[in-house]
Amino acid sequence: MTAAFYVSAAIAVLSTVMAITRADAVHALLYLVVSLLAAASIFYVLGAPFAAVLEVIIYAGAIMVLFVFVVMMLNLGQAATIQERSWIKPRMWIGPAALTAVLMAEVAYVLWASRKGNFAGANVIEAEQVGIAFFGPYLLAVELASMLLLAGLVAACHLGRGDERK
C-alpha cells in the first residue's frame, strides 16, 4: 500500500502543478479534478474511506460543478465559442485522461488487495469521528470555509450579470 500512496501523491502533485500552469480555465479545472481524486485515494490508502468519499462528493463533485458553472456563466461571446470548440480535440484530454487512468488502476489494485486481506490501513476513521471534529474543534474553520464559498458564489453572480449601465 505504500506504493499506492506514493503513486497517488505523485499524481496529486503533478496534476496540481498542471492546474496552476494552464492558461485555459477548463484545462486547469480538469487537472484540479484529477488532483482532488488523487487526494481522495490518498485518504483511502491512509485508512480514512469516509474522508475519501467526502473528498469525491464535495470537492471533486459539487465544487467542480460550481467552478464549471462559473466558467460557463462568464462566457465571453464568439471568441469563447471558438475556443470551446478547440477543447473537444483529443490532445486536450490526453493528460487528464492518462493521470485518471493511473488512478483508476491504483484504486482497483487497492480494492483488490483490501478484499484479499492485505490492506495495511492503520485505523479506519468513522463518520462519527469526522462529525465530532467538524462540529468540535474545527467548527470555526468549517464555518469560515462556508462563508468563503458563499462569497465566491456572490462574486460569480455579480460578475456574470454584466454591466447594465450600457
Q: 9 and 24 share a domain?
A: yes
Residue with cell 488487495: 113
Pair 58, 11 in one domain: yes
**What pLDDT score does 76 carry?**
61
Residues 33 and 164: their CA atoms lie apart, in Å, by 34
Q: Under 8 Å CB-to-CB from 54, ≥6 apart: which residues?
A: 130
Asked if 130 and 117 sit in the same domain, the reply is: no
Could you list the residue range(s) of the whole structural domain that residue 40 is in? 2-125
| Segments of the chain with pLDDT less than 50 | none
Query: How far lies 80's CA from each of 31, 71, 75, 94, 160, in Å?
Result: 20, 10, 6, 22, 15
Instruction: Judge if 118 and 130 occupy the same domain.
Output: no
Both 72 and 118 in one domain: the answer is yes
Predicted pLDDT at 154: 85
- pLDDT for 9 equals 92
> Do 137 and 97 fall within a single domain?
no
Same domain, 17 and 66: yes
The number of folded domains in the chain is 2
